[in-house]
């Protein structure tokens, strides 16, 4: 009967790849591991075949197959609900054809209460779920019994969870399942990842050292075509603000050549802008253009996904909400508007087309400005060299461990020594100290030093070395609060007499007055009022260019792509323009070389220019926007300590600018001292309002640790209320319990996550070995112009920002022609 699986492949006119056969053999040998392969090469069936083949070997006589569906054998964890729906269909396909007595079902936050209750009585043979839903299952004492036949856990898109607290949540859940079933096999699926070895060890924890961990990489050349739509006339002085819409006619011509296209942009705001622009330019495509991003109502997103699968839509404008491995076979091409900011992201998005073995994945890149053409050429070179970003795992998030211990106590209870060994078997908590463990035990049983007088924080009851939860209110509260996803100030948006449209950040809604218009979810809307955390709107015939802004849309340039960009710039300095993109960008780069300098990878360029607004200094480390934010503040702080003065700061992915009314008397050595990695953490915490930063970060920690409850369905608190509540805890801990471990975690996360201190330190260390080149320029250069434009935007002026920037751009273009 084992031949049924190969026969099914043959029926599909497929031939198994060697990596798929290797994965099947490894599973049957009792091994766990990680399968790494490009998008669209069959990773799903590489790991699905193992459990199916094992069952066929154990049940060789088809006549003796059971009439009832088999009990739970496989758990399939996925990071996205949309991906979960698609996975269920992919897993069911061979089971139906082979006639196996297996069932595959979905369990996420969207699953109905009736379906969840039915599953609680008898789980399907394969359950596709999310880390949050698995954690919720672990809160039930009978789950261990119902998981008695579990053979395998498969973690899909592991690279997406690896560097997040959801990844740690997955680690903790897997540790519990391994403790229940020591022979459990765990397999991860990954594409586009630079630190595969570390990813394997994080997935398997201490089990990775047991000698049965297998890394399987597909040695298959997936074909990618990365091309750029080149503008007819190149803007020498690029500035942000038009979202690449100058290329709209070229994009439309590209859309006309394909039946189905995914058009990716980098932020949700740009989705709204491009969707409205396409609809206005081609009204005859009404109903054939859709939009998709994480703030659009779930039902609407599912409708769009179904239309994509059916090939019934011409174009979907989207963000990373459609990045992952959903199989939309009808998609013929992908368009990327704006630079992708990462090598892996470009490959991931390209792989949405040609999503099957042997097919070519095509992506067309659309520049928002000239310098993005350099990024497109750089990302192609990085892919050719096999360079890929790493995802750094999260280390010791104690807020999540607090949550997990309550989960274990609620799900049948735990013995202290056994739970500690289990938790230390994970990569995230391998170095958990005895002091940290005892603090957490005290925190969940007594509320710690500060909260011991409040019964609601004595969540776990201790009897000897056994811990359990025996209060129904605590159980309900905890189950409603499980998870690590904490949204920024989100508010529901609903039509006055109609449906739910999605959610928008509260800060955007707070700026609107009744009657104000804005564009959202494909509609022109008029704001009416707010009631119970819902913004009520009505459809409007007036066209508004105002679109919501989402803070989560920021994507900094990755380290790998930054290095690749510097290599392309070095080639341009030698007048090597070896790709269509670089040839198109050549006039702009030649102006940069003529008016200032194109820096080599071992050079740090510092320009300064006098404008009518003042004196501006431009520093170009090419380290990404987040690192430059920290560098700008740090540099201004250090200069100000030596010579008190005020600065205005701006930054982008290539560098940062300091605006000051008087010149800086700094030579090359002085600049090197200002950019020293010495005393980095101390200086950056000194110059930033670290208390306020930590207090904001503590909101997430307080929610995950169960200190702040965001409300029951239908009565959610506003984010301002949640922030206020977490702020009270922060102030109380700071005053009465300054050694509180959650306070330490908040400060650590500010340093590691918000300020990217690791990348800051690397950038400053590299600067010490670089040649620092100081250039006074008579006018703004192509590199400095976008930083100047951002600075002007922040100034108080009666002029329209766009008009001011456009005038300066035209003036510089004219000067470039004269020189």
pLDDT at residue 62 is higher than 90: no
pLDDT tens readout for residues 579-623: 999 999 999 999 999 999 999 999 999 999 998 778 999 999 999
User: Region 793-801: what's the mean pLDDT?
Assistant: 59
User: Region 382-409: what's the mean pLDDT?
Assistant: 93
> Which one, of 611, 616, 610, 586, lies nearest residue 598 by Cα?
586
Could you give the CA distance from residue 405 to residue 460 in angstroms, rounded to a whole number? 9
Could you give the CA distance from residue 270 to residue 285 in angstroms, rounded to a whole number? 19
Contact 333, 261 (CB under 8 A): yes
pLDDT at residue 117 is higher than 70: yes
Cα angle: 76, vertex 218, 352; to 5 degrees: 65
pLDDT at residue 460 is higher than 90: yes
> Which one, of 758, 623, 770, 769, lies nearest residue 681 by Cα?
758
Mean residue pLDDT across the chain: 87
150-164, 400-414, 493-507: segment of lowest average pLDDT: 493-507
pLDDT at residue 11 is higher than 50: yes
Confidence (pLDDT) at 618: 97
Contact 230, 303 (CB under 8 A): no
pLDDT tens readout for residues 184-240: 999 999 988 889 999 999 999 987 666 678 999 987 677 888 999 998 776 666 655
User: Region 695-721: what's the mean pLDDT?
Assistant: 71
Confidence (pLDDT) at 555: 66
Which distant-in-sequence residues (6+ apart) come within 8 Å of 359 by Cβ?
Answer: 40, 223, 353
Residue 401: both structure tokens together:
């461990």
Bridge partners of residue 771, in order along the sequence: 603
Could you give the CA distance from residue 423 to residue 418 in angstroms, rounded to a whole number? 9
Could you give the CA distance from residue 653 to residue 374 in angstroms, rounded to a whole number? 13
Q: What Cα–Cα distance (Å) separates residue 82 from each residue in 93, 125, 645?
A: 18, 21, 52
Residue 538: both structure tokens together:
């009505």
DSSP 389-401: ---PPP---HHHH
Q: Higher confidence at residue 791 or residue 737?
A: 737
- Is 461 in a helix, a strand, or coil? strand
Helix, strand, coil % (nearest 5) of the chain?
50, 15, 35
pLDDT tens readout for residues 545-561: 777 766 555 567 888 89
End-to-end CA distance of the chain: 78
Q: What are phi and psi of 215, to 5 degrees?
A: -100, 120
DSSP, res 556? P
**Buried/exposed code over 780-801 (b: 16+ C-beta within 10 A; e: otherwise):** bbbbbbbbbbbbbbeeeeeeeb
Confidence (pLDDT) at 795: 63
Which strands make up the sheet holding 523-531, listed edge to edge?
Answer: 500-505, 490-495, 534-539, 523-531, 517-520
Could you give the CA distance from residue 632 to residue 655 in angstroms, rounded to a whole number? 9
User: Region 712-731: what's the mean pLDDT?
Assistant: 63
Q: What Cα–Cα distance (Å) separates residue 382 from each residue in 83, 327, 385, 387, 568?
A: 28, 26, 5, 5, 11
pLDDT at residue 788 is higher than 70: yes
Could you give the CA distance from residue 684 to residue 690 in angstroms, rounded to a whole number? 9
Which distant-in-sequence residues (6+ apart) come within 8 Å of 789 by Cβ?
Answer: 239, 240, 241, 805, 808
Confidence (pLDDT) at 798: 46
Q: Where are the beta strands (DSSP E) in 293-381?
A: 315-318, 333-337, 361-366
Which distant-in-sequence residues (6+ apart) come within 8 Å of 721 by Cβ?
Answer: none
User: Region 330-341: what's the mean pLDDT?
Assistant: 89
Could you give the CA distance from residue 396 to residue 446 in angstroms, rounded to a whole number? 21
Q: What Cα–Cα distance (Å) separates residue 662 from each residue in 18, 278, 527, 610?
A: 66, 47, 46, 10
> Which one, of 136, 129, 198, lies nearest residue 163 by Cα?
198
pLDDT at residue 166 is higher than 50: yes
The pTM assigned to this predicted structure is: 0.86
**655: number of Cβ within 10 Å:** 26
Cα angle: 793, vertex 795, 798; to 5 degrees: 90
Could you give the CA distance from residue 279 to residue 275 in angstroms, rounded to a whole number? 6
- Is 122 in a helix, a strand, or coil? coil
pLDDT tens readout for residues 120-153: 888 999 999 999 999 999 999 999 999 999 999 9
Q: What are phi and psi of 755, to 5 degrees?
A: -100, -5
**Crossing angle for the helix pair 398-410 and 416-424, nearest 10 degrees?**
140
Residue 357: both structure tokens together:
């073995």
pLDDT tens readout for residues 70-96: 999 999 999 876 677 778 888 999 999
What confidence category does residue 101 fall into, taking pLDDT thresholds of 50, 70 and 90? Answer: very high
Bridge partners of residue 499, in order along the sequence: none
- Is 606 in a helix, a strand, or coil? strand
Bridge partners of residue 190, in order along the sequence: 36
pLDDT tens readout for residues 17-30: 999 999 999 999 99
Confidence (pLDDT) at 63: 82
Q: What Cα–Cα distance (Å) separates residue 226 from each residue in 563, 567, 579?
A: 19, 19, 11
């Amino acid at each position: 009967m084992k031949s049924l699986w190969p026969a099914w492949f043959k029926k599909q006119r497929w031939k198994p790849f060697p990596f798929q056969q290797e994965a099947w053999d490894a599973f049957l040998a009792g091994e766990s591991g990680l399968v790494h392969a490009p998008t669209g090469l069959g990773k799903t069936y590489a790991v699905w075949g193992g459990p199916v083949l094992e069952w066929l070997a154990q049940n060789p006589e088809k006549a003796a197959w059971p009439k009832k569906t088999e009990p739970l054998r496989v758990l399939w964890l996925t990071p996205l609900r949309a991906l979960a729906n698609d996975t269920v269909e992919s897993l069911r396909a061979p089971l139906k054809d082979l006639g196996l007595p297996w069932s595959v079902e979905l369990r996420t936050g969207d699953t109905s209460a009736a379906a969840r209750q039915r599953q609680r009585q008898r789980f399907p043979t394969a359950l596709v779920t999310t880390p949050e839903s698995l954690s919720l299952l672990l809160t039930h004492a009978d789950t261990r019994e119902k998981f008695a036949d579990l053979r395998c856990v498969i973690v899909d898109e592991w690279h997406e969870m690896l560097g997040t607290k959801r990844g740690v949540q997955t680690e903790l859940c897997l540790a519990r399942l391994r403790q229940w079933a020591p022979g459990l096999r765990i397999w991860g699926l990954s594409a586009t990842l630079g630190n595969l070895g570390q990813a394997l060890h994080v997935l398997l924890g201490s089990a990775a050292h047991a000698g049965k961990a297998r890394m399987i990489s597909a040695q298959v050349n997936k074909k990618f075509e990365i091309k750029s739509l080149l503008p007819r006339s190149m803007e020498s002085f690029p500035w942000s603000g038009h979202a690449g819409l100058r290329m709209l006619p070229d994009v439309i011509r590209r859309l006309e050549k394909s039946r189905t296209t995914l058009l990716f942009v980098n932020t949700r705001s740009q989705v709204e802008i491009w969707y409205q622009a396409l609809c206005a330019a081609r009204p005859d495509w009404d109903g054939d253009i859709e939009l998709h991003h994480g703030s659009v109502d779930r039902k609407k997103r599912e409708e769009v996904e179904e239309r994509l699968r059916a090939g019934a839509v011409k174009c979907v404008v989207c963000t990373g909400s459609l990045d992952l491995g959903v199989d939309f076979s009808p998609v013929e091409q992908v368009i990327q508007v704006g630079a992708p900011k990462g090598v892996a992201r470009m490959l991931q998005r390209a792989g949405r087309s040609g999503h099957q073995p042997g097919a070519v994945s095509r992506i067309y890149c659309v520049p928002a400005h000239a310098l993005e053409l350099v990024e497109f050429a750089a990302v192609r070179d990085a892919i050719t060299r096999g360079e890929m970003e790493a995802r750094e795992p999260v280390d010791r998030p104690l807020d999540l461990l607090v949550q997990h211990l309550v989960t274990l106590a609620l799900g049948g209870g735990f013995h202290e020594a056994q739970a500690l060994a289990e938790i230390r078997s994970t990569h995230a908590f391998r170095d958990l100290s005895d002091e940290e463990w005892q603090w957490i035990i005290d925190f969940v049983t007594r509320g710690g030093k500060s909260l011991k007088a409040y019964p609601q924080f004595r969540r776990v009851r201790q009897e000897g070395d056994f811990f359990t939860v025996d209060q129904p209110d605590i159980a309900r509260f905890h189950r409603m609060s499980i998870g690590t996803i904490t949204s920024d100030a989100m508010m529901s948006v609903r039509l006055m007499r109609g449906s739910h449209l999605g959610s928008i950040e509260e800060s955007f809604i707070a700026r609107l007055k009744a009657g104000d218009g804005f564009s959202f979810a494909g509609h022109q809307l008029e704001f009416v009022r707010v009631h119970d955390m819902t913004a009520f709107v009505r459809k409007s015939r007036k066209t508004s260019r105002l679109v919501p802004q989402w803070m989560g849309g920021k994507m900094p340039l990755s380290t790998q792509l930054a290095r690749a960009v510097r290599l392309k710039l070095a080639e341009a300095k030698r007048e090597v323009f070896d790709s269509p993109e670089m040839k198109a960008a050549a006039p702009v780069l030649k102006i940069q070389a003529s008016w200032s300098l194109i820096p080599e990878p071992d050079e740090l360029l510092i320009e300064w220019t006098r404008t009518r607004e003042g004196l501006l200094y431009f520093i170009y480390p090419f380290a990404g926007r987040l690192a430059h934010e920290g560098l700008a503040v740090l540099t201004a702080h250090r200069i100000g300590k030596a010579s008190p003065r005020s600065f205005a700061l701006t930054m982008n992915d290539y560098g940062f600018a300091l605006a000051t009314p008087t010149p800086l008397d700094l030579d090359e050595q002085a600049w090197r001292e200002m950019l020293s990695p010495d005393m980095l953490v101390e200086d950056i915490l000194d110059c930033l309002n670290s208390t306020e930063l930590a207090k904001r970060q503590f909101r997430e920690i307080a929610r995950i640790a169960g200190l702040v409850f965001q409300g029951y369905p239908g009565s959610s608190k506003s984010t301002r209320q949640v922030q206020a509540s977490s702020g009270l805890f922060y102030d109380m801990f700071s005053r009465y319990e300054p050694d509180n471990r959650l306070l330490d975690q908040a400060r650590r996360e500010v340093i590691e996550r918000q300020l990217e201190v690791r990348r800051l330190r690397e950038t400053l260390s590299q600067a010490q070995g670089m040649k620092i080149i100081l250039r006074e320029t008579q006018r703004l250069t192509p590199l400095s112009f976008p930083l100047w434009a951002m600075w002007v935007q922040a100034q108080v002026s009666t002029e329209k920002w766009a008009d001011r920037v456009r005038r300066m751009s035209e003036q510089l273009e004219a000067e470039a022609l004269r020189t």
